[in-house]
Structure 1
């Protein structure tokens, strides 16, 4: 057999090599890279990534992702970060800040050979929103997936805590949000950050804001002090207090656009239009009708406004695909919506500020800000979703007349160029009537409108800049009508200051639920029952207390408008009139059908009509239609249920009084006065005499009818009594079940006839006493009489013997 030839007829399968664990690479010349980095001149100008001393896996990843030239922020930040300096980086939106910190993270960990589970965690990248964290992680995978062996993970919540806990022990790079990483630092025992080398904060000004202040302070306590810290944002903070909290060591401040004439890209065309608050939805609808072949991002101030506008416009079908995104959605839905909008060619996304920072949506044509941003920095981040990477884009800001002066002054201080434009009245259409019709037909949409109104007014109230947001300058009643609402809901603002309100808004849901469950007293001062046995409420208690979130739920009842004049509040004067209650809404549900019941109810029930107390086992009030009533009777309490037992009280709900009709020869119904003329009426006497005579006749007729009813009732009682006596007689005489059927029927009829002949005035009969049973020591009277008889003849003796034998 020739050498190298086997006797197999089929080719042999190659052996599968066992998957080797990630370990330090032997083919890496770390000393050469370290020397190149040490010789790097940070003051020199670099134009491409090839000019920097980068490793082969990083260079290959950048090339595969089509990143070749350096932007301004990248050219200045990457060399300093490679040398290990702390950086404060500020640049315009869309200038490539993500690569400015991801490239140093990969390179520094690569040179330190921080690979594998034994190396521990090397870098933490913190983002303020989940969407931005997902975007950063995707870029990290693109540029780090061409040869790097790091274990990277995304920790943003929305998944099981146990799954993330098991994977954290093996990660070298973590992209996360502040709340979730803090939860793992405090609860996951296997999560070790002692070897951490780099900390990156993207959108640092937002993370350092009050919403994440406590979380960042707690995270810093867990991290080692000898680390490298990088902070990047479009509007960077320079406050010494913030920087000292992060323990920065001689940070390098990089602001490539600080000397620029504008704080926004030059390719961005910015305009604003004076739009009164009640006309904003009309203007937005008209804009969508004229821009159906565009990709539009619409910003609103709250998630409830986003839901209402999305649902309303979706019913009216503007001719462009609609999407909506806000922080209350589940993570899977938020991720799906961002992907749809990124891939869409023409679409409109209604969103809150949750997508205002850092997100890169391709080819956004328009950014429409329906609600005024809280400050100029938020405006810069919003308009930064378009005109990215030196592409063209347009932004339009809707300003109420009361907001114009203050907001333009703030934008001018931030070097934001903006021009005023006017809306063509010929092309603007009103949707007020359509919204009113939809809210009338769909109670759930009306409920969304009420919540949207309340959330918008509250957002105005908590704003810090009172020079821009003047609550008493907004036409709130007209704004409620523009939403399709019949009236403005009553609102009660919190007494806490703006910082407390924002803290509660940004607090995790679990913390808020725990705080609510630990409250000792409810609104009335009565102690709450925590659980079934007075203990801590469990998930089973919450499960049985859960109810459908429809229009009959408790929180919907709070949104109903109170029609009582003495309880109405002037919405334009609410800024100074605050009530010290933690509830945002203070509206009681009132049923018009029961207004007269409070004074006429004799039951003495202390339950108020406004209390909306439900019957046991019911999820909501019941509606019962009463014949002749103008409206159905709503049973929302036990007091209302008692009305069904009172005929007199039910008659109060019947609209109008009955009228007497007379039928003619043809069978047609007519009123009495229709069948007689005036002469016949006057012939019977004066009207007062006829009325008095009619009342006397009716009184006599009612009296006779009452006598007849009494006689009938007496006969029924007598018949019932006779039947009872007959049954007792049968039991005493032993006639039940004995004799023939014919004889029994004859006796019953005879007894009934005999009883019928007795006097009718007998009201009560003495019931016969039941026959008592004899005791064991008492003798039978009949047996004694038989024993006392003398036995005379032989026949009698024989009969007596047979009788005695029969007994035995």
Structure 2
């Protein structure tokens, strides 16, 4: 912890910083490069020569040299040759940054001049430092302090990349006095951030989190920011973040510096206008390069059938146990399923998984563990952008990326900073169109075809099925993985590559079996009006597609064989479908539709069908939400049976006896059944009622008798207890006779109940007691007279 400076020392520090800032501004103005210029390419030999010839400045910084001369810095190769403050130079030296990369050589001179920059470079080329250094220098030259509020905002598409950027700010800005925060996460930490965000100078955040504070945090002000940075700009400016970014930019000042960086940069005028870029410097250091990926990256593609992907992945992991491998899958459910199953099978190397539904702290811990040693990390595309992990040996793409840009970002996790790396992608035969796009000249991706070695391919489908039997919860997860994969293919916009119609039901069944599933899960496909293929449009009456408030009827030609089905949305075309309730659909996240079977009999030829099939949709709400009302007063029908000739059969013919033969039947009906009349039934019910009443009287008398006996037994017990008390009282001495008299009087005062049979016995007992009392009184009187 630094000791507080005295007043005089603090004044000297401020004066020294003011002098340094004046020298830096003069140096920047005098040596700034012309617009549109780029530094010449630097070979390895010239780079080493320039490094040897560079002067050793120690801790003085570049500003000291600018006191007497203003050197050109547009083509320099080292950080200490740039017009940077002493604190920034110390932070770079402490972090081990000395030589600049190509994107840093090209972008930093323009960014330090205050110009807007649109930078594009290969993955792993050091783009983060290209905007961290200008941000720190901008605030330093503006003498920014805690009381000035937010001066720099860095937008990142995900929280993992935001945390990595914030770590670079901490390293390089270690000797600056700026306050900063990484604003990511959910509602859990929002209250703590609200209390401190107004005192922050640098904010590294995601667009949604920043917009949350703009709408909820009191007195949060971004009207004075000096510099806005957007990392992975092609994704942040994409339609997924479009509304959030537009709302954020609308609350920022127009006069500011803006820096945009990405590996696959956008040149769209519309996108650039949204973030208010003014005459930006477009810097693409690898635009004229022969490849769009790092030169040290070896790339391979392998044609693998859908049902063999897990077998191939398992075989690959078993052959590369001493490597650090990153595996990309298309959905969260697939990542969870493959990780859990492979963990149970134990391939001999540590396994980890990471996806966007994990907490930020858990993701950071998994990344730290993955950096430690050889392991396999299964991940979604959350790991595809920006994250910097050293020494990743292999990047394996089990599922095809949605476009060329995502492929470049995925393979960019290896071969970083001129290190070597390898990448492998599995493509189904139905996805070979992606291989053609990767090999196209405009893609600049040198990829090689590699044939799978079927002899070394290990079949693990039976082992996975055994695991699913032992762990039933994994079976449900396997169903979800199956459905989410098909959904990810169906939802892709590039139908040249992703077209489920190329897959047959045999492919789906084989893929489900490769996942260890005993039964192929049901699937459904949503087909909206705008996505209906042309071959089906002849079967649809377009005039009837208009929605009305009443029921909607659409006629479909049954001769057209179609797997299209209907959803309950407003923009759907009605087709025969099955009920929605299904055990596979446990939530709404992977709610993929199922392929429906045709309702037309396969044995009927299309030429014989003349009438169209009519389907009716009642309203736009889901039918399963409506409660059906049953009319209790509806008319009841009667069942009528017919014989072979079409004549009606009597209702009691089923219990009749056949008499005779031939075409005529004589029915002999049981006379007991036919002569049963209503009067006979009434008599029977009256007799049963009389018998029940007689039995009821007998039961009541028996019950009264039992109660009387219980009451008598209780009284006898009470009498015996009283007689025993009186006998005990007579044996006591005369000193307690008064007490006995009081107890006797009290007992006489109590209410007593007697039956008529016991009145004489009780009266005799009372008379004996009175005689004893009179004898006792005479005895006492005689003693008193004597």
The 3 A distance-change label for structure 1 pair 554 and 383 is closer
- Tell me, yes or no, if the aligned pair for 2:32 and 2:113 is still in contact at 8 Å: no
State the shift of 1:19 in Å. 11
Q: Which residue of 1 aligns with 2:425?
A: 397
Do structure 1's residue 727 and structure 2's residue 703 form an aligned pair? yes
Q: Which residue of 2 aligns with 1:26?
A: 15
Show CA shifts across 1:422-447 (max 9, x none): 12112110111111122223221011
- Tell me, yes or no, if the aligned pair for 2:523 and 2:594 is still in contact at 8 Å: no
Equivalents in 1 of 2:590, 2:462: separation in Å? 25
Q: Which residue of 2 aligns with 1:59?
A: 89
State the shift of 1:341 in Å. 1.0
State the shift of 1:524 in Å. 11
Equivalents in 1 of 2:314, 2:491: separation in Å? 28
Q: Which residue of 2 aligns with 1:486?
A: 518
Equivalents in 2 of 1:172, 1:399: separation in Å? 47
Higher Cα Rg: structure 1 or 2?
2
Taking the TM superposition and a 5 Å limit, the aligned residue runs for 1:71-470 are 71-116=101-146, 118-145=147-174, 147-158=175-186, 159-342=188-371, 344-412=372-440, 413-470=442-499
Equivalents in 1 of 2:568, 2:702: separation in Å? 63
Show CA shifts across 1:188-247 (max 9, x none): 122111111100000000111111111111111010000110000000000111011111
- Tell me, yes or no, if the aligned pair for 1:82 and 1:107 is still in contact at 8 Å: yes
Taking the TM superposition and a 5 Å limit, the aligned residue runs for 1:711-726 are 722=698, 724-726=700-702
Show CA shifts across 1:20-65 (max 9, x none): 9999943202111111111224253111111101101110111111
State the shift of 1:16 in Å. 7.7
Q: Which residue of 1 aligns with 2:27?
A: 36
Equivalents in 1 of 2:83, 2:568: separation in Å? 70
Equivalents in 2 of 1:395, 1:15: separation in Å? 48
- Tell me, yes or no, if the aligned pair for 2:116 and 2:279 is still in contact at 8 Å: yes
3-state SS of 1:26 partner: helix
Show CA shifts across 1:679-699 (max 9, x none): xxxxxxxxxxxxxxxxxxxxx
Do structure 1's residue 45 and structure 2's residue 75 form an aligned pair? yes
Q: Which residue of 1 aligns with 2:562?
A: none
The 3 A distance-change label for structure 1 pair 439 and 716 is farther
State the shift of 1:559 in Å. 9.4
Show CA shifts across 1:690-725 (max 9, x none): xxxxxxxxxxxxxxxxxxxxxxxx999999965641
Equivalents in 1 of 2:304, 2:95: separation in Å? 43
State the shift of 1:727 in Å. 3.3
Equivalents in 1 of 2:589, 2:384: separation in Å? 34
The 3 A distance-change label for structure 1 pair 456 and 739 is closer
State the shift of 1:562 in Å. 11
- Tell me, yes or no, if the aligned pair for 2:524 and 2:593 is still in contact at 8 Å: no
The 3 A distance-change label for structure 1 pair 298 and 563 is closer
Equivalents in 2 of 1:281, 1:185: separation in Å? 46
State the shift of 1:384 in Å. 0.3
Equivalents in 2 of 1:321, 1:583: separation in Å? 50
Flag structure 1 segments of 5+ consecutive residues without an equivalent.
1-13, 500-522, 526-550, 571-578, 587-603, 605-713, 742-781, 783-808
Show CA shifts across 1:540-577 (max 9, x none): xxxxxxxxxxx999549999999998899x9xxxxxxx
Equivalents in 2 of 1:564, 1:48: separation in Å? 65
The 3 A distance-change label for structure 1 pair 301 and 425 is same
State the shift of 1:335 in Å. 1.4
The 3 A distance-change label for structure 1 pair 217 and 443 is same
3-state SS of 1:254 partner: strand
- Tell me, yes or no, if the aligned pair for 1:22 and 1:149 is still in contact at 8 Å: no
State the shift of 1:405 in Å. 2.8
The 3 A distance-change label for structure 1 pair 283 and 581 is farther
- Tell me, yes or no, if the aligned pair for 1:89 and 1:255 is still in contact at 8 Å: yes
Q: Say what the alpha-carbon RMSD is for the aligned residues.
A: 3.9
Equivalents in 2 of 1:394, 1:15: separation in Å? 47
Q: Which residue of 2 aligns with 1:540?
A: none
- Tell me, yes or no, if the aligned pair for 2:524 and 2:596 is still in contact at 8 Å: no
Equivalents in 2 of 1:558, 1:727: separation in Å? 69
- Tell me, yes or no, if the aligned pair for 1:492 and 1:583 is still in contact at 8 Å: no
Equivalents in 2 of 1:524, 1:19: separation in Å? 74
Equivalents in 2 of 1:275, 1:313: separation in Å? 19
Equivalents in 1 of 2:706, 2:618: separation in Å? 79
- Tell me, yes or no, if the aligned pair for 2:160 and 2:360 is still in contact at 8 Å: no
Equivalents in 2 of 1:459, 1:304: separation in Å? 11
- Tell me, yes or no, if the aligned pair for 1:405 and 1:468 is still in contact at 8 Å: yes
Equivalents in 1 of 2:193, 2:274: separation in Å? 28
Equivalents in 1 of 2:6, 2:245: separation in Å? 39
TM-score by length of 1: 0.62
Taking the TM superposition and a 5 Å limit, the aligned residue runs for 1:511-660 are 555=587
The 3 A distance-change label for structure 1 pair 737 and 164 is same
The 3 A distance-change label for structure 1 pair 47 and 494 is same
Q: Which residue of 2 aligns with 1:803?
A: none
Equivalents in 1 of 2:443, 2:590: separation in Å? 42
3-state SS of 1:403 partner: helix
The 3 A distance-change label for structure 1 pair 25 and 418 is same
Q: Which residue of 2 aligns with 1:69?
A: 99
Equivalents in 2 of 1:467, 1:122: separation in Å? 46
3-state SS of 1:39 partner: helix
The 3 A distance-change label for structure 1 pair 372 and 226 is same
The 3 A distance-change label for structure 1 pair 282 and 583 is farther
State the shift of 1:115 in Å. 1.8
Moved more, 250-259 or 553-562: 553-562
TM-score by length of 2: 0.64
3-state SS of 2:122 partner: coil
3-state SS of 2:279 partner: coil
State the shift of 1:411 in Å. 4.7
State the shift of 1:452 in Å. 0.8
Show CA shifts across 1:744-800 (max 9, x none): xxxxxxxxxxxxxxxxxxxxxxxxxxxxxxxxxxxxxx9xxxxxxxxxxxxxxxxxx
Equivalents in 2 of 1:325, 1:254: separation in Å? 33
Equivalents in 2 of 1:377, 1:15: separation in Å? 47
Equivalents in 1 of 2:129, 2:95: separation in Å? 11
Taking the TM superposition and a 5 Å limit, the aligned residue runs for 1:495-510 are none
Equivalents in 2 of 1:583, 1:486: separation in Å? 35
Flag structure 2 segments of 5+ consecutive residues without an equivalent.
38-73, 532-566, 570-582, 603-616, 625-631, 633-689, 718-755, 757-786
- Tell me, yes or no, if the aligned pair for 1:488 and 1:561 is still in contact at 8 Å: no
Q: Which residue of 1 aligns with 2:724?
A: none
Count matched residues: 543
3-state SS of 1:169 partner: helix
